[in-house]
C-alpha cells in the first residue's frame, strides 16, 4: 500500500492494515469536499489494482464542536456516517478529542486480562509478590498505559478512575489489609503512581519524537505544553 494514490491536501497514515485519511479546513464542508473528491479517485485506483474494499468497515469522524447535518462521505455509493467516536490503532477518538471514552475502554480491556491472570496474582496465589509484580508490570499495566502520552491529558476524573483500579489490583497483589494506606502499598511494592508513570512515558515519547524523520510528524506545530491554553493538546501530559 506504499504506492497508494496520493493527493496534496489529503494526509494518509498507514500502519499495518489500518489506513487513516485526514483532511482539514476552516469549515466542515472545506474538509469534506476534497476528501470526497479523493475517495472518488481512490475507488478507481482500487478497481484498477483489483483491491476489494469492505464498505461496511470504514468509519468517519468530524472533529468539530458544532452539531449539524453535514454532508456525508460516500464510498462506492455507500454513505459513511460521521460518528461521535471511532477506534484507531487501539485508541478511542471522540469528536472533541477529549479522550473521554478511551479510559473506560482501557479499564474494560484491563479487567478482561486481569480475570485471565487472576489465579496467578490473587491473594491466595502461591507465587511470590515479586513474580506477581512481574506479571502486573509486564502484562497488565501496559494495557492501561497504552498510548497514554497521547490521551494522558484527559480529565482528572478519568485518570482517577484508572488510578483506583490500579490501587485495588496492587492491594490484592501485595495481600494488603484494609488499614494499609495506598501510599504504603506503593512504597512496599516499589511502584510509582499511574500519573507519574504516564509522565515518565510522555517524557521519553516526546523526546524520541524529535528524532523521528516523518513528514506528517514534522508538520506538527511546536507549542508550550505548560501554557494553560494548550491543556487540551497531547503533550500537556508532560505537566502531570
C-alpha 59/C-alpha 225 separation (Å) is 31
The confidence score (pLDDT) of residue 1 equals 55
Supply the pTM of this predicted model.
Answer: 0.87
Task: Give me the number of domains the chain comprises.
Answer: 2
Q: Which residues pair with 73 in a beta bridge?
A: 80
C-alpha 129/C-alpha 126 separation (Å) is 9
The confidence score (pLDDT) of residue 28 equals 87
Clarify whether residues 108 and 211 are in a common domain.
yes
In this structure, the number of other CB atoms found within 10 A of the CB of residue 176 comes to 18
Clarify whether residues 41 and 118 are in a common domain.
no
Clarify whether residues 110 and 199 are in a common domain.
yes
Q: What tens-digit pLDDT sequence spans the chain (240 residues)? A: 557 888 888 999 888 888 999 999 888 888 999 999 999 999 999 999 998 888 888 899 999 877 766 778 899 988 887 888 999 999 999 999 999 999 999 999 999 999 999 999 999 999 999 999 999 999 999 999 999 999 998 999 999 999 999 999 999 999 999 999 999 999 999 999 999 999 999 999 999 988 888 877 887 777 787 777 777 777 777 777
User: Looking at the domain assignment, is residue 238 inside a domain?
Assistant: no
The confidence score (pLDDT) of residue 100 equals 93
Instruction: Look up the domain containing 15 and give its range.
Output: 10-83
The confidence score (pLDDT) of residue 2 equals 59
Clarify whether residues 117 and 216 are in a common domain.
yes
Clarify whether residues 110 and 150 are in a common domain.
yes
> What single-letter DSSP state applies at residue 128?
-
The confidence score (pLDDT) of residue 174 equals 95
C-alpha 116/C-alpha 132 separation (Å) is 13
The confidence score (pLDDT) of residue 154 equals 92
Clarify whether residues 127 and 213 are in a common domain.
yes
Q: Could you say which of 83, 110, 141 is where a domain stops? A: 83
Clarify whether residues 38 and 145 are in a common domain.
no
User: Looking at the domain assignment, is residue 165 inside a domain?
Assistant: yes
> Exposure of 187 by Cβ count < 10 A (0-12 exposed, 13-18 middle, 19+ buried)?
exposed
Q: Which residues pair with 74 in a beta bridge?
A: 79
User: Looking at the domain assignment, is residue 237 inside a domain?
Assistant: no
Amino acid at each position: 500500500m506504499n504506492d497508494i494514490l496520493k493527493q496534496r491536501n489529503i494526509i494518509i497514515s498507514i500502519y499495518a492494515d489500518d489506513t487513516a485519511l485526514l483532511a482539514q479546513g476552516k469549515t466542515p464542508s472545506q474538509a469534506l469536499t476534497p476528501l470526497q473528491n479523493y475517495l472518488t479517485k481512490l475507488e478507481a485506483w482500487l478497481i484498477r489494482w483489483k483491491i476489494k474494499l469492505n464498505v461496511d468497515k470504514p468509519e468517519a469522524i468530524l472533529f468539530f464542536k458544532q452539531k449539524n447535518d453535514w454532508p456525508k462521505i460516500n464510498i462506492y455509493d455507500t454513505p459513511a456516517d460521521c460518528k461521535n467516536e471511532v477506534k484507531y490503532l487501539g485508541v478511542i477518538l471522540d469528536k472533541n478529542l477529549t479522550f473521554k471514552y478511551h479510559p473506560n475502554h482501557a479499564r474494560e480491556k484491563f479487567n478482561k486480562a486481569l480475570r485471565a491472570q487472576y489465579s496467578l496474582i490473587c491473594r491466595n496465589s502461591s507465587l511470590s509478590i515479586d513474580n506477581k509484580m512481574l506479571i502486573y508490570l509486564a502484562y497488565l499495566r501496559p494495557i492501561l498505559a497504552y498510548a497514554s502520552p497521547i490521551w494522558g491529558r484527559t480529565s482528572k476524573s478519568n485518570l482517577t478512575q484508572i488510578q483506583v483500579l490500579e490501587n485495588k489490583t496492587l492491594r490484592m497483589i501485595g495481600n494488603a489489609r484494609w488499614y494499609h494506606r495506598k501510599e504504603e502499598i506503593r512504597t512496599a511494592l516499589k511502584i510509582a503512581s499511574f500519573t507519574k508513570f504516564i509522565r515518565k512515558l510522555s517524557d521519553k515519547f516526546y523526546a524520541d519524537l524529535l528524532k523521528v524523520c516523518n513528514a506528517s510528524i514534522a508538520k506538527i506545530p511546536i507549542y508550550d505544553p505548560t501554557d494553560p491554553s494548550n491543556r487540551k493538546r497531547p503533550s500537556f501530559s508532560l505537566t502531570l
